[in-house]
Amino acid sequence: MKQEGGQRISGTYQLQSLAEKPVVSVITVVYNSEKLLERTIQNILSQTYHNIELIIIDGGSKDGTLDIIRKYNDRISYWVSEKDNGLYHAMDKGLQLASGDYVWYINSGDLIFDATTTEKIFTENRTDADIYYGDTLYVNGNYETIGLRSEITNKKLPKQLSVDSFEFGMVVCHQAFIMKRSVAARYDLQFRYVSDYDWEIACTKNAKTAIHTHQTLAKFLTEGFSTKHRNASVKEKRKVMLKHWGLVVGNLNYSINFFRAGLSFLKRRKFVKQHGIQ
């Protein structure tokens, strides 16, 4: 049964988009995540930038997740709880429900890097770009630092993001990819495990401007959905590459990506061992 709440339902929603202060729709997707969700909600609500629309999409949780959501009902712009068709269906639903100028996915368990991050992007570095992107800090289940994604993997952030930046894989973590809603693409739900990779490519095709913030934008909990389905994710990446680059180039890119993924795994394992990270 569908349940919903938040400021839109109570009639207390008051955010307004301003030229110098756009509304940022932070979308949080959750399912049976009572141990992680509250930390994420508190992190988003603690941002010093206050023009944030928090939207929570719950897939019909059966644990204490809804109790946590209701605890913050007056501070959440909108939340809905109902059965969905998986992670990316929920993310696409969040995109359709968003009303802000920009959309930013911070799912349950993930965090915006620190309390000033959003303000630095949209106040100090205001340029009205279609995309803002940056680095991601990997953390483990105890939120202990593993390392920056750009340092412990082979996915280096490009100085200037373009479609070609994605030839060999998802070069920007989706928690560090902020997209102007008016030109954002819909999710292609044929991809069950890497639809975010396809989405970033499609969004970049639509974008005219992309700004490298030179900031760490998010903390990514490495025990997420795609990491639990690593083998299936690798196979789906090939399909995404074929979709966007064709048979010959797509297969070549996939082969290179497969090799680089192995190097990235070894590099990350060495980094973790050297720094004594559990």
Most confident of the following: 123-127, 182-186, 238-242: 182-186
Report the alpha-carbon distance of residue 204 to residue 213 in Å, rounded: 16
With a pLDDT cut of 90, the percent of the chain lying above it is 72
Q: How confident is the model at residue 263 (pLDDT cuts 50, 70, 90)?
A: low
What is the DSSP secondary-structure string of the chain? --EEESHHHHT------BTTB--EEEEEEESS-TTTHHHHHHHHHT-S---EEEEEEE----SSHHHHHHHTGGG-SEEEE---SSHHHHHHHHHHH--SSEEEE--TT-EESSTTHHHIIIIIT----SEEEEEEEEE-TT--EEEEHHHHSS-PPPSS--GGGGTTS--S-GGGEEEEGGGPPPP-TT-SS-HHHHHHHHHHHH-S-EEEEEEEEEEEETTSHHHHTHHHHHHHHHHHHHHHHHHHHHHHHHHHHHHHHHHHHHHHHHHHHHTT--
**pLDDT-based confidence at residue 28 (cuts at 50, 70, 90):** very high
CATH code reported for the domain at 3-274: 3.90.550.10
Q: Which of 12-21, 76-85, 152-161, 250-259 has the lowest mean pLDDT?
A: 250-259
pTM over 0.85: yes
pLDDT, position 20: 83
CA distance 255 to 110: 30
Whole-number pLDDT of residue 225: 47
Under the banding of pLDDT at 50, 70 and 90, the label for residue 18 is confident
